[in-house]
Amino acid sequence: MGLFDDDFYSTKVSRRVRTTSSRDEFAFSNKKGMRSWSNVRVAFVASFTSAVAAVLLFVLVFGGGGFGPGSHPASVSASGSTSLEQRTIQASAKVRPAVVSVINEQTVPYGLMPDTGSTEDGTGSGNDSQVQGSKQEVGVGSGVIFKLENGKAYIITNHHVIANAESVKVLLVNGEKREAKIVGSDQITDLAVLEMDGKDIKTVAEIGKSSKLQPAEFVLAIGNPLGLGDSLAMGIVSKTHRIVPVSLNEDGVYDWQQEVIQVNVSINEGNSGGPLINMDGKVVGINSMKIAEVGVEGLGFAIPIDNAMPIVDSLMEKGYVSRPYLGVYTVDLEQYFAQQQMTDQPAGGDTKAGKGEGSANEDSAEVQDLPDLKLPDEVLDGVIVLEAVGPAKEAGLALNDVIVKLDEQSIGSTMELRKYLYDQKKIGDDIKVTFYHDGKLKTASFKLEEKTKDE
């Protein structure tokens, strides 16, 4: 996903110190003073004092669970650490049987064999077992079983884990491999749902509430990092709500913003799609990506489970996510101007155009192929229409029109267009598009339709 990749880093678990204190005060009042007490009362007080002293000595020597006026800090700290360790063990044991490895298989075309090593003379592949034109394992990620129904087990994973897969296999924690089917997938949210035979599947992960997470709360990431199999990593929640830009088409152009949980648990390649769980063993996020830059460590991200479950429900019901559909494929005007400044340079690195409202696999035009645009000098931000279809085409938008507003909201990029459309509008809503056509400012109003799976 552009600069974002899947990578996880494990941190040292800090000890949690709990201290509780209580004080019991005993007052004996006698107007004549202690010297007038009876022998019985003096004996009672002496016995009680001895008993209290014995209890305090026991607590100091053996530790008393962190209570009483003489609680020892070291005893309390050790007790708290043991409690955290037990919660970690119990939480992971609760979820681990529901965590699976997800294998993406694709046909390797002739002449495009993956580099699996060199022979002694430095030429050719070192793996003779792979045959060009056959299906090969091209990627491995993780997933979590969240539902059992009618003999089927359903798995949440990332879209990028199963993207372009011709077949998908699931590896259970016991080592058994099963065929899986893609129920639905959504590139925008990077989520997908798989279905497999539910025979002998006993454990289903419990879904928690990401809205209840707090900064510094301990969390566990479970998955299949680097293809090594079942693995755990622990850390804390760095920030419960973070917005990061992503490149949906992996072309270096940020065209979406993802809402994520930031954690200092690292997500290594293969950890993607696995669950992020709290200390109660409940899924609070789906591990998704990291900042993949030199010198950056412990900066991983997970999709909040509160955001994920409505998408999962839509994928289960329809196989896709229902969103309002404007019907334009666009490129940012800023990219166009940048390309215009490079016209004197030799043809080389092609600059790809942005892909409209979020479609995954359109063939995009190159910015350098666009004709000169007729725009007022003050217009520097907007999106160029590469193709208009559906409702936009019917409303009169065409190639090379430049959209500058949706309703009264200024639009300066494809990202802003998507965010306004998906966050602020619903299917069936009216929308007003303000755009330049042959240098003239125009508007078009129409109803937003539903974007189907094919579109």
Quote the radius of gyration of the chain (alpha carbons, Å): 31
Task: Give the chain's domain count.
Answer: 4
Asked if the structure places residue 32 within a domain, the reply is: no
418 with 336, same domain: the answer is yes
Average pLDDT over residues 366-389: 82
Asked if the structure places residue 189 within a domain, the reply is: yes
- 231 vs 316, which has greater pLDDT? 316
The pLDDT > 90 percentage for the chain reads 51
Asked if the structure places residue 16 within a domain, the reply is: no
Position 133 scores a pLDDT of 64
| pLDDT(150) > 80 | yes
| pLDDT(10) > 60 | no
Position 15 scores a pLDDT of 36
pLDDT interval class at 265 (50, 70, 90): confident
331 with 365, same domain: the answer is yes
> Model's pTM, two decimal places?
0.71
Asked if the structure places residue 179 within a domain, the reply is: yes
Give the Cα separation of 369 and 386 in Å (integer): 11
Q: Of 151, 170, 197, which residue constitutes the final position of a domain?
A: 197
Asked if the structure places residue 173 within a domain, the reply is: yes
Give the Cα separation of 9 and 238 in Å (integer): 13
User: Residue for token digits 């920030």?
Assistant: 239
CATH code assigned at 217:
2.40.10.10
pLDDT interval class at 227 (50, 70, 90): low
Position 257 scores a pLDDT of 86
Residues in contact with 330: Cβ distance below 8 Å, sequence separation at least 6, in sequence order: 353, 354, 356, 357, 383, 384, 385, 386, 403, 414, 417
70 with 163, same domain: the answer is no
The Cα-based distances of 436 to 258, 333, 444 in angstroms read 30, 12, 11
231 with 262, same domain: the answer is yes
334 with 357, same domain: the answer is yes
Position 222 scores a pLDDT of 93
Residues in contact with 335: Cβ distance below 8 Å, sequence separation at least 6, in sequence order: 253, 351, 353, 354, 367
Asked if the structure places residue 122 within a domain, the reply is: no
Residues in contact with 377: Cβ distance below 8 Å, sequence separation at least 6, in sequence order: none
307 with 327, same domain: the answer is no
- 12 vs 160, which has greater pLDDT? 160
245 with 269, same domain: the answer is yes
CATH code assigned at 377:
2.30.42.10
242 with 344, same domain: the answer is no
Q: What is the pLDDT of residues 181-218, one digit of tens each?
A: 999 999 999 999 999 999 999 999 999 999 999 999 99
441 with 332, same domain: the answer is yes
Q: Which of 18, 16, 80, 81 is nearest to 216 (CA)?
A: 16
Task: Assign 3-class secondary structure to 31-74.
Answer: CCCHHHCCHHHHHHHHHHHHHHHHHHHHHHHHCCCCCCCCCCHH
Phi-psi region of 307 (alpha: psi -120 to 50; beta: other; left: phi over 0): alpha
Ranking 60-74, 168-182, 248-262 by mean pLDDT, the lowest is 60-74
Contact 102, 162 (CB under 8 A): yes
Position 268 scores a pLDDT of 72
What is the residue-averaged pLDDT of the chain?
77
Position 427 scores a pLDDT of 93
pLDDT interval class at 276 (50, 70, 90): very high
272 with 312, same domain: the answer is yes
398 with 447, same domain: the answer is yes
Asked if the structure places residue 123 within a domain, the reply is: no
Asked if the structure places residue 30 within a domain, the reply is: no
| pLDDT(48) > 60 | no
- Element of type H or E holding 338: helix 333-340
Contact 437, 398 (CB under 8 A): yes
SS3 390: helix
- Element of type H or E holding 421: helix 414-424
311 with 341, same domain: the answer is no
Give the Cα separation of 284 and 277 in Å (integer): 5
Q: Indicate which residues carry an active-site annotation.
A: 160, 190, 272
Position 18 scores a pLDDT of 38
The count of C-alpha atoms lying within 13 angstroms of the C-alpha of 114, restricted to the half-sphere facing its C-beta, is 14
Contact 443, 432 (CB under 8 A): yes
Contact 76, 16 (CB under 8 A): no
Q: Which domain holds residue 80?
A: 37-93
Ranking 32-41, 172-181, 395-404 by mean pLDDT, the lowest is 32-41
